[in-house]
Structure 1
Amino acid sequence: MNTYAATIKVTEYPPHLKHKVIFETFKKLNPSESMLLINDHDPKPLHFQFESMYAGDYHWEYVEQGPEVFQVKIDKL
């Protein structure tokens, strides 16, 4: 079983706070720690944003790919 330093249920946040909470949580991770995102849709736009901001500093892995629930493990490298 995986252990995550943080779990974010994205649907619990208002739209204007979602990415802010996600990126603030990622910044607080220590290298080799992971966070889990749980969402009701595929967070592809977020993945593109991670790639533009943190290329080479993270690893993105789908744990569950819908259709109703998407879970993404994001590791800080």
Structure 2
Amino acid sequence: MADTTLDVREIPPADRHPKIHDAFAELERGETLTLINDHEPKPLFYEMQAEVDEFDADGYAVDHRGENEYVATFPKK
């Protein structure tokens, strides 16, 4: 299994969620999308929780590593 890392800090905000959803859809079961963002992706968490059955919300984690750097993991069931 290979995990995927996506740094969205340089992507325009309006384009981020579609790109993230596409990357998540490409994952195999049991893999994880690691997202590097400039803010805590709580709205994305709620969106994924409500709309994506394969998202393992219990395995979600976020780490605030510094100014403008949040690293979140989005596991796929």
Alpha-carbon separation, structure 2, partners of 1:7 and 1:33: 11
- Superposed CA deviations along residues 14-65 of structure 1, whole A, max 9, x for unmatched, are 1221000000000110000111100111111111101111256323112x22
The AA in structure 2 aligned to 1:34 is T
In the alignment, what sits opposite 1:48? 46
Identity %: 28
The AA in structure 1 aligned to 2:72 is V
1:12 corresponds, among 3, 10, 13, to 10
Change (3 A) 1:21 1:56: closer
1:31 corresponds, among 29, 34, 59, to 29
SS in structure 1 at match of 2:39: coil
Change (3 A) 1:44 1:26: same
Structure 2: where are the runs of 5+ without partners?
none
- The normalised TM-score by structure 2 is 0.81
In the alignment, what sits opposite 2:64? 65
Q: CA RMSD in A?
A: 1.9
The AA in structure 2 aligned to 1:72 is A
- The normalised TM-score by structure 1 is 0.81
Change (3 A) 1:8 1:34: same
